[in-house]
């Protein structure tokens, strides 16, 4: 029994290392070309979405589920959640012109976060002037996002202020905390 447990623990550690570390050493072109995911990138995204949805480490890796704006079909994408001043945020490392951002905005911010189960949330667009410190906190955690963003992770806050309009940031809120929502009654 002890041997089986050690093998399982070793497999988990190896899987975490593979998922979190290996992509940082591969060229970006393996996962993205012309700002679109390659087949390897899509496979990685699907695998990481499943990993995050199960609630496996790290705790800041979540899966976002959002309804498609045209089809209504549910789409899942793994994201890194940034924590700043006691709030949790989601950032689009690829900018405004990605499907999940358009779907969230079209759907009024309604989405589901998967991490140890499903949790309905409302994503609120953060004004551009408030995004800089959140983007900085995000890049400290999201190693895979660094090549896609036009600012270094260790740059001063002023550099983040200059690019804040390029990257959408959403505050994750519970539906009951939004005034006028059906759950707040």
Residue 33: domain span: 2-176
Predicted local distance difference test score (pLDDT) of residue 185: 38
Q: What is the 3-state secondary structure (H, E, C) of 42-94?
A: HHHHHHHHHHHHCCCCCCCEEEEEEECCCCCCEEEEEEEEEEECCEEEEECCC
pLDDT one-digit tens code per residue, 149-169:
889 989 999 999 999 999 999
Q: Is residue 165 part of a domain?
A: yes
Dihedral-angle region of residue 149 (phi above 0 means left; psi in -120 to 50 means alpha; beta otherwise): beta
Residues 6+ apart with CB under 8 A from 84: 133, 134, 137
- DSSP class of residue 127 equals P
Cα first-last separation, the chain: 52
According to DSSP, the residues that pair with 67 across neighbouring strands are: 74
Domain at 115, CATH number: 2.30.110.10
In a domain, 132, yes or no: yes
pLDDT at 160: 95
Number of domains the chain contains: 1
| 112 belongs to a structural domain | yes
Let me know if residue 184 belongs to a domain.
no
Q: pLDDT tens digits, residue range 76-106? A: 888 999 999 999 999 999 899 999 999 999 9
- Structural domain includes residue 181: no
pLDDT of residue 128: 97
pLDDT of residue 184: 41
Inside any domain, residue 185: no
pLDDT digit string, tens, across residues 14-32: 665 555 555 555 555 666 6
């Amino acid at each position: 029994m002890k041997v089986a447990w050690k093998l399982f623990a070793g497999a988990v550690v190896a899987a975490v290392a593979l998922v979190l570390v290996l992509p940082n050493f591969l060229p970006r072109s393996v996962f993205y070309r012309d700002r679109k995911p390659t087949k390897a990138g899509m496979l990685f995204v699907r695998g990481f979405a499943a990993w995050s949805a199960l609630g496996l480490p790290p705790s800041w890796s979540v899966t976002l589920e959002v309804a498609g704006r045209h089809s209504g079909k549910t789409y899942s994408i793994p994201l890194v959640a940034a924590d700043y001043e006691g709030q949790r945020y989601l950032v689009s490392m690829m900018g405004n012109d990605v499907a999940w951002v358009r779907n969230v905005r079209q759907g009024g911010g309604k989405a589901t976060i998967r991490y140890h189960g499903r949790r309905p949330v409302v994503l609120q667009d953060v004004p551009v002037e408030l995004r800089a410190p959140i983007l900085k906190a995000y890049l400290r955690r999201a190693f895979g996002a660094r090549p896609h963003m036009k600012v270094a992770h260790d740059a001063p806050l002023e550099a983040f202020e200059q690019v804040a309009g390029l990257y959408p940031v959403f505050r994750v809120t519970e539906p009951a905390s939004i005034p006028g929502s059906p759950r707040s009654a």
